[in-house]
Amino acid sequence: MNQLLSSATDNLKGTVNVPGDKSISHRALIMGSLAIGETLVAGLLEGEDVLNTAAAMRALGADIRKDEDGTWHIHGVGVGALHEPEGALDMGNSGTGARLLMGLISTYPFSTTFIGDASLSSRPMKRVTDPLESFGAEFHGSENGTLPLTVRGTGMPVPISYDVPVASAQVKSAIMLAALNTPGTTTIFEKKPTRDHTERMFSFFGVDTTTTPKDSGRVITVTGQPELTARNLTVPGDPSSAAFPVVAALITPGSDITIRNVGLNPDRTGLFITLKEMGADIEFVNEREDCGEPVADLRVRHSRLKAITVPQDRAPSMIDEYPILCIAAAFADGTTMMRGAEELRVKESDRIAIMVKGLRACGIDVEEFDDGMAITGSREKPAGGAVIETHLDHRIAMSFLTLGLQSEQPVTVDDGSVIETSFPIFRELMNGLGANIHPAGENK
């Protein structure tokens, strides 16, 4: 176990760049691999999850390499030209990578086996595989649809119309990727809008796709078998990664930090909106657009937060940020209510149960619900002093390390190595701002 320990700090100061957006990085690799010509990608997140997707796309036929200056070169093979990999595709801890690639290859006439680590192998896949079977693909594995799972793609896919039963950008995106190699038009109905990174990336590469508002949701269409042309792009900084230094600065007196080049996709800003409603001093500076995505620099200063009830319909736009929101809520006056987030039960871990257990161990008052929790915060520092079981979940680990920056006693996470999957420079970046995060046992 690689235990990490976080101790109290005086304040955070400085200007930093967080790693590239993980969702956009996955999609940039996939779409570049399907485009004719050379796609150049700057700012790609180089965490384990994305690197596993790069390795998988190489195994499927793309030529992908990285320059000394950090630019990634992708020579694509064209839609319809992927080939059967020689071995299983190991997706490590990445549910996003696994589900997107299951969609992509479900409409190719070959078989592929997906494997992953213990965490990924415990996560359900049926909500993705069920609609993909409608294209004609077959899936073979355990009864509950967990990895290892073999996909037998179809050589004669048929377009589908699918009503997504639960708000999930991964399910939607898997269907859209399956539609790329399917003749005709595939239609997807979303009851609740989810992140639109796939739609934006499809449009950026020239896929004929439309998005139409309908009632409270959206209708998305994809016309299959396009000829994609290589494009150059810069991946915006990941707002999910920016969330950790943002909340750390908000709860640490005297803090004033700037985070450059953060993606502000409207489907990803739920946390920042929620924090501002709680009284957070967050300023968007130098707003602009890159590769179809809105971007800005964030200036964040320590703030006295107040509790709110988070609107349930905001959950899809901040589903990955609930763990770090829990930390902000622990420092807000009053009881912060978070409901409508049942998807947290099936993320990298059961994030509701694990956050509740960890918060209570650190002396924080929390009530658990099937679809969320209520956290009663205080102006007083929480006790801390606990060793948190992360269950191989990187966001759990980073959230409790953030809590330790303002706890009476240090907070330890049982395995900090899982952070490598999404934010490999987390400790370096945070300590550069003034945090005190280090391996347990080191004297600091």
> Annotated catalytic sites, by residue?
320
Tell me the residue length of the chain.
444
Query: Can you tell me whether residue 239 is helix, strand or coil?
Result: helix
3-state helix, strand, coil in the chain (%, to 5): 35, 30, 40
114 in Cβ contact with 91 (< 8 Å): yes
Number of H helices, E strands in the chain: 12, 24
* 27 appears as a binding residue in the annotation: yes
* 168 appears as a binding residue in the annotation: yes
* 23 appears as a binding residue in the annotation: yes
Q: Are strands 72-75 and 89-90 parallel, antiparallel or unpaired?
A: unpaired
Provide the strand spans (E) within 191-308: 209-214, 217-223, 233-234, 256-263, 281-290, 293-301
* 395 appears as a binding residue in the annotation: yes
18 in Cβ contact with 430 (< 8 Å): no
Provide the strand spans (E) within 330-410: 334-338, 365-369, 372-377, 387-388
Element (H, E) at 304: none
* 320 appears as a binding residue in the annotation: yes
* 95 appears as a binding residue in the annotation: yes
Q: Say how far apart CA 339 and CA 305 lie, in whole Å.
A: 19
> Residue 74 class from Cβ within 10 Å (0-12 exposed, 13-18 middle, 19+ buried)?
buried
* 106 appears as a binding residue in the annotation: no
* 357 appears as a binding residue in the annotation: no
Rg (CA), the chain: 21
* 22 appears as a binding residue in the annotation: yes
> Residue 44 class from Cβ within 10 Å (0-12 exposed, 13-18 middle, 19+ buried)?
buried
Alpha-helical runs (H) found in 136-196? 169-180
DSSP class per residue in 90-142: E-TT-HHHHHHHHHHHTTSSSEEEEE--TTGGGS--HHHHHHHHHHT-EEES-
For residue 337, how many C-alpha atoms fall within 13 Å in the half-sphere facing its CB? Answer: 6
User: Per the annotation, where are the binding residues for phosphoenolpyruvate?
Assistant: 22, 95, 123, 170, 351, 395
User: Per the annotation, where are the binding residues for 3-phosphoshikimate?
Assistant: 22-23, 27, 168, 170, 320, 347
User: Per the annotation, where are the binding residues?
Assistant: 22-23, 27, 95, 123, 168, 170, 320, 347, 351, 395
